[in-house]
């Protein structure tokens, strides 16, 4: 077992490359990873809050274009709006909108550290070819002012060489119990699946809430049902867990529901999902 103690990232890579050539692969990283975070949104704040208190990790700087947004970070680290003042670091974490990832990565062409983005749907090669490219994707929904238990958040990592992958795995393992090596294609499909089970589901919650409010019923009455629906997936396959009028092929109830909905959009959503369920079970 070889233990590496260093805070100089370029020297670390040279050492690891040398040891790999000798066939020595059982290496424990005990390094001080320095991080520059690029972005000031929800995910950037959550990553900052969890990483800043980890052993052997130092967030050297947060870069963003909005001075007001940077105020969230200023008490605990250096901040800048000047792209020319971005500091040297082991890892640069880009936590910005998908459309801005490529542009922001171009700001780091002269840096030696690993440059990762945090998107589920963007391929690793969207990053500038001039940087050491990687991905650090926490598979979770992040909302303002709501804490997340990162130990339960799967983190999907990707890199273009095995040494960078080791560094990202080491970083991810400090905050999560589940670290997965996932390709860009796999991550894209995983993100698509996540949109169905998270984003679309939440939208259905909203529709349900609107229906309840219209009838002056508290949405909280549905919370036990929502929780049970989520929890039973731990023991049942979704195909086995499906219930409801469409699964029973109860067309009379379906027609009554659609007729009772006043919102045209709600009618369309109900019809499309009911048809999908019936087709899935061979009922249409």
Domain 2-182: homologous superfamily in CATH:
NAD(P)-binding Rossmann-like Domain (3.40.50.720)
Q: Report whether 196 contacts 206 (CB < 8 A).
A: no
Q: What is the DSSP letter of 195?
A: I
Q: Where are the domains of the chain?
A: 2-182, 188-280
Q: What is the pTM of this model?
A: 0.86
The position carrying tokens 């393992």 is 173
Q: What is the model's pLDDT at position 6?
A: 46
Residue 80 falls in which region: left (phi positive, over 0), alpha (psi -120 to 50) or beta: beta
Centre a 10 Å sphere on the Cβ of residue 15 and count the other Cβ atoms it contains. 16
Q: What is the DSSP letter of 235?
A: T
In tens digits, the chain (284 residues) has pLDDT values of 444 444 455 555 665 566 556 555 454 445 689 999 999 999 999 999 999 999 999 999 999 999 999 999 999 999 999 999 999 999 999 999 999 999 999 999 999 999 999 999 999 999 999 999 999 999 999 999 899 999 999 999 999 999 999 999 999 999 999 999 999 999 999 999 999 999 999 999 999 999 999 999 999 999 999 999 999 999 999 999 999 999 999 999 999 999 999 999 999 999 999 999 999 999 98
- Residue 130 has, within 13 A of its CA and on its CB side, a CA count of 10
Q: What is the DSSP letter of 198?
A: I
Q: What is the model's pLDDT at position 32?
A: 83
Q: What is the model's pLDDT at position 284?
A: 81
Torsions phi, psi for 2 (to 5 deg): -115, 130
What residues contact residue 136 under an 8 Å CB cut-off, 6+ apart? 91, 93, 116, 117, 118, 155, 157, 168, 171, 172
Q: What is the model's pLDDT at position 11?
A: 56
How far is it, in rounded angstroms, from Cα 224 to Cα 211? Answer: 17
3-class SS of residue 200 = helix
In CATH terms, 188-280 corresponds, of 1.10.1040.20, 3.40.50.720, 3.30.1300.10, 3.20.20.140, to 1.10.1040.20
Q: In what order do the strands lie in the sheet with 132-138?
A: 78-80, 57-63, 33-38, 91-94, 114-117, 132-138, 155-159, 179-181
How far is it, in rounded angstroms, from Cα 135 to Cα 93? Answer: 9
Q: What is the model's pLDDT at position 122?
A: 97
Q: What is the model's pLDDT at position 2?
A: 42
């Amino acid at each position: 077992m070889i233990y590496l103690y260093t805070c100089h990232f370029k020297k670390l890579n040279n050492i690891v490359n040398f040891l790999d050539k000798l066939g020595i692969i059982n290496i424990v990283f005990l390094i001080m990873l320095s991080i520059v975070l690029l972005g000031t949104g929800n995910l950037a704040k959550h990553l900052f809050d969890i990483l800043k208190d980890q052993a052997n990790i130092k967030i050297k700087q947060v870069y963003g274009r909005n001075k007001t947004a940077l105020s969230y970070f200023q008490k605990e680290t250096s901040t800048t709006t000047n792209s020319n003042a971005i500091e040297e670091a082991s890892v640069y974490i880009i936590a910005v909108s998908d459309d801005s990832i490529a542009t922001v990565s171009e700001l780091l062409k002269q840096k030696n550290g690993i440059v990762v983005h945090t998107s589920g749907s963007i391929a690793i090669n969207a990053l500038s070819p001039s940087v050491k490219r990687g991905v650090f994707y926490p598979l979770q929904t992040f909302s303002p002012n709501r804490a997340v238990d990162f130990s339960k958040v799967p983190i999907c990592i990707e890199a273009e060489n095995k040494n960078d992958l080791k560094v990202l795995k080491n970083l991810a393992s400090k905050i999560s119990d589940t670290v997965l090596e996932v390709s860009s294609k796999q991550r894209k499909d995983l993100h698509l699946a996540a949109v169905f089970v998270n984003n679309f589901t939440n939208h259905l919650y909203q529709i349900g809430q609107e229906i309840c409010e219209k009838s002056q019923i508290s949405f909280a009455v549905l919370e036990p049902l929502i929780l049970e629906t989520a929890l039973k997936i731990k023991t049942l396959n979704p195909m086995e867990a499906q219930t409801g009028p469409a699964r029973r092929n109860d067309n009379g109830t379906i027609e009554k529901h659609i007729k009772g909905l006043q919102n045209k959009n709600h009618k369309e959503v109900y019809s499309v999902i009911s048809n999908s369920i019936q087709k899935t079970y061979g009922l249409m």
